[in-house]
Amino acid sequence: MEQTLKRLATMQRLQVAGLELFYQNGYHNTSVDDILKKLDLSKGAFYYHFKSKEEFFISIIQNLIVQRVYSALVQPIEGKEDPFTIIEESLDASLETAEHNFFDNGFVLSNFLSETQGKDPEINTYLNDILKIWEVALITSLQKGKSDGYVARHVDSDGVAAYIISAYMGIRLQMACGNAKNLRYKFIQQLRIYFRSLAPQPIH
């Protein structure tokens, strides 16, 4: 019981530190030793809990990344009405935390996706699954929005979802590259214009 707790604690410490370094320097550019050095742990500890670096990363994806994406981008829009407003708010909030984080390195998911795509197919799959969760949440929200009269009937929910995801991933990368300070404001502005043309038009 007590042991199990300690085990989980050490594993979590490793995962948190691992994610931080992977996010900062990239998965391939971060060695297991780097992580261990940061925590004053030894090789033995690491390979006692995880059987390889890859499996370790996958555990991070499934424990930490999935949760962060969910709480930042999925949960806020789930079950709510008025999709455009609520989606805009969730994106704006995410951009705000990114903007105020001096060490922002872009959107976790898209960073790792672009690093592992092609090379590490297994890892890539797990990342894609998370993206899919977000996509489904967006589509569901938009569809519900049609019934509720917030979204025009003719709108292609899949297409809109893909477009939102694209735009968000792209803006996060640009923000991380330090291109202009008011990027977030501009982005939300354009998003709003786009959304407006997807709302039901008053007949005249």
Contacts with its own copies by CB under 8 A lie at: 24-26, 28-29, 103, 105-106, 110-111, 113-115, 117-119, 124, 128, 131, 156, 158-160, 162-163, 165-171, 173-174, 176-177, 179-180, 183, 186-187, 189-191, 193-194, 196-198, 204
Tell me how far, at minimum, the Cβ of 6 lies from DNA, in Å: 5
What span, in angstroms and rounded, lies between the C-alpha atoms of 71 and 3?
30
Q: Which one of its own copies, DNA, none is in contact with 7 (Cβ closer than 5 to 8 A by kind)?
A: DNA
Tell me how far, at minimum, the Cβ of 42 lies from its own copies, in Å: 25
Please measure the distance between the N-terminal and C-terminal CA atoms of the chain and give it in whole angstroms: 69
Tell me how far, at minimum, the Cβ of 69 lies from DNA, in Å: 24
Tell me how far, at minimum, the Cβ of 164 lies from its own copies, in Å: 9
Choose among 112, 162, 110: nearest CA to 136: 162
Q: Which is nearer to DNA, 44 or 178 (CB)?
A: 44
Q: Which is nearer to its own copies, 6 or 196 (CB)?
A: 196
Q: Which is nearer to DNA, 107 or 112 (CB)?
A: 112
Tell me how far, at minimum, the Cβ of 92 lies from its own copies, in Å: 14
Query: DSSP states of 93-146 as a string?
Result: HHHHHHHH-TT--S-HHHHHHHHHTTT-HHHHHHHHHHHHHHHHHHHHHHHHHH
What span, in angstroms and rounded, lies between the C-alpha atoms of 140 and 158?
9
Q: Which one of DNA, its own copies, none is in contact with 197 (Cβ closer than 5 to 8 A by kind)?
A: its own copies
Q: Which residues bind DNA (CB under 7 A)?
A: 1-4, 6-7, 10, 30-34, 40-45, 47-49, 51-54
The answer to whether the CB of 50 falls within 8 A of the CB of 56 is yes
Q: Which one of DNA, its own copies, none is in contact with 79 (Cβ closer than 5 to 8 A by kind)?
A: none
Q: Which is nearer to DNA, 11 or 164 (CB)?
A: 11
What span, in angstroms and rounded, lies between the C-alpha atoms of 67 and 71?
6
The encoded tokens of residue 109 equal 């998911």
- Residue 88 is given by DSSP the state H
Q: Which one of DNA, its own copies, none is in contact with 96 (Cβ closer than 5 to 8 A by kind)?
A: none
Report CA torsion sign: 194, 146, 110, 32.
Answer: positive
